[in-house]
């Protein structure tokens, strides 16, 4: 097998894996209890739903990060989405631990830094 064929095969496998993780993440985000029932045989309730949705956001970010050449965009997507979701959880008042708001602030800062890096990366390429 030539080196180019090997890379092409690896990219196809990577795309397949990235799409699968992103699809699982989207399912966790939209229907965490159903995914829990289908995967683990138990419906997710209470705080497990919040944790499952954060895991879903992470899997979407992972899927984007594993898409060939898109690591920065994947991490930016994850950080922005988890910032918004955790802020929503805190504002809605359904759950709020001691580290919830510091986590929101940390992810907001990371999102800004990643967006700046993505912008400067685009400027460098043009």
Total-model pTM:
0.72
Cα–Cα distances (Å) from 32 to 51, 82, 84, in that order, read 9, 16, 18
Question: Which residues, including other chains, have CB under 8 Å from residue 93's CB and lie 6 or more apart?
Answer: none
Nearest to 66 by CA among 108, 97, 24: 24
φ, ψ for residue 118 (rounded to 5)? -65, -40
Q: Measured at the alpha carbon of residue 65, what is the angle toward residues 59 and 67, in degrees to the nearest 5?
A: 105
Over the stretch 5-55, which tens digit does the pLDDT of each residue have?
A: 766 776 777 788 788 889 999 999 999 999 989 877 888 999 999 999 999
- In this predicted structure, what is the pLDDT of residue 69? 64
DSSP summary character for residue 67? S
- In this predicted structure, what is the pLDDT of residue 57? 93
Q: When comparing pLDDT for 4 and 16, which is higher?
A: 16
Question: Which residues, including other chains, have CB under 8 Å from residue 68's CB and lie 6 or more apart?
Answer: 11, 14, 15
- Quote the CA–CA distance of 2 and 65 in Å, as a whole number: 26
Over the stretch 58-112, which tens digit does the pLDDT of each residue have?
A: 999 888 888 776 677 888 888 899 999 889 988 987 677 888 899 899 999 989 9
């Amino acid at each position: 097998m030539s080196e180019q064929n090997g890379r092409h095969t690896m990219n196809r496998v990577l795309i397949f894996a990235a799409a699968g993780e992103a699809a699982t993440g989207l399912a966790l985000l939209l229907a965490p209890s159903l995914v829990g029932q289908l995967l683990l045989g138990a419906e997710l309730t209470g705080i497990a739903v919040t944790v499952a949705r954060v895991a879903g956001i992470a899997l979407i970010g992972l899927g984007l990060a594993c898409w060939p050449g898109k690591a920065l965009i994947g991490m930016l997507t994850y950080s922005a989405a988890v910032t918004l979701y955790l802020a929503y959880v805190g504002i809605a008042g359904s759950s709020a631990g001691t580290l919830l708001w510091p986590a929101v602030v940390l992810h907001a800062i990371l999102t800004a830094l990643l967006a700046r890096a993505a912008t400067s990366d685009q400027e460098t390429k043009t």
